[in-house]
Amino acid sequence: MANSALEIVGLLLTLIGLIGAAASTGMPMWRVTAFIGENIIVFETRYEGLWMNCFRQADIRMQCKVYDSLLALSPDLQAARGLMCCSLALGGLGLLISLVGLQCTSCIENNDRAKRLVLIIAGSMIIMACICVIIPVSWTGHVIIRDFYNPLLIDAQRRELGEALYIGWVASAFLFAGGCMFICCNLQSEGKGSERYVYSRNSDYMAYPPQPLQPLQPQQLVLLPQPQPQPVLSRHPSTSYSYHSRYPSVRSGIAYL
């Protein structure tokens, strides 16, 4: 019952992490314009994402433009695109596989070992999705911080961390928690089930070599002594009082005299 509740919690954590990863992939707020300088009145804000650039002027609605060519993008942006798409694919596939191995589902019946194996595979895929999310998000954050303190760049070229990066970090944490919960719960159950079949080598039993079979020999017959008849006591009087005895009776003594 406890494992079933933990599996449901892991499923919810994985679903939340997958939604956060999808939101982080589609949002254009990866790089945000940094407001540096004495002029606090800024009329334009620029956002840079994986798929588009967006501009926002004062209270006017945001205007976005999708990148024209994939080959014109920088290598780190292309790698971030590929890793985020891989994370969504691995997370979604792991979520679907975990539904098959849950104890509350009847997809696999009368085979607990197969259910545990399915959940371990699903947890491994979810952790791989977490790694695919955290690598581009952390690398982009590192590049933004490095360029922010670069003295060779002007203020207009500096960027700040966008909301999509924070959502990506939180989503990777949820994915990692969900995947670890699937793996740890089923590995612990597997260890408990295998304890019944573990034998200790430090035992007092000794192994003896097999002895050769000896041919059967005919044995002599032994005659057992026949038991002598014992007198039977009865409640009814009997007419016969004579029986064989080693000791003479009283009547026989008087007759001898």
Tokens for 133, please give them.
């999310």
Q: Is the CB of residue 6 less than 8 Å from the CB of residue 181?
A: yes
How would you classify the pairing of strands 52-57 and 44-48?
antiparallel
Query: Looking at the predicted structure, is the pLDDT value of residue 15 above 80?
Result: yes
Predicted TM-score (pTM) of this structure: 0.67
Query: Looking at the predicted structure, is the pLDDT value of residue 136 above 80?
Result: yes
pLDDT of 85 reads 92
pLDDT bucket at 152, cuts 50 / 70 / 90: confident
**Poorest-confidence range of 92-101, 136-145, 203-212, 235-244?**
235-244
182 φ, ψ (degrees, to nearest 5)? -65, -45
**Poorest-confidence range of 22-36, 87-101, 161-175, 241-255?**
241-255
pLDDT of 49 reads 87
pLDDT of 3 reads 73
Alpha-carbon span 210 to 221, nearest angstrom: 31
59-95 pLDDT, tens digit per residue, is: 677 788 888 877 778 888 889 999 999 999 999 999 9
87-134 pLDDT, tens digit per residue, is: 999 999 999 988 888 777 777 777 778 888 888 999 999 999 999 999
| Residue in the block written with tokens 């509740």 | 5
Please give the share of the chain, as a percent, with pLDDT higher than 70: 67
pLDDT of 148 reads 84
Tokens for 40, please give them.
């606090």
The more confidently predicted of residues 146 and 102 is 146
Sheet of 31-33: strand order equals 63-66, 52-57, 44-48, 31-33, 159-161
pLDDT of 63 reads 83
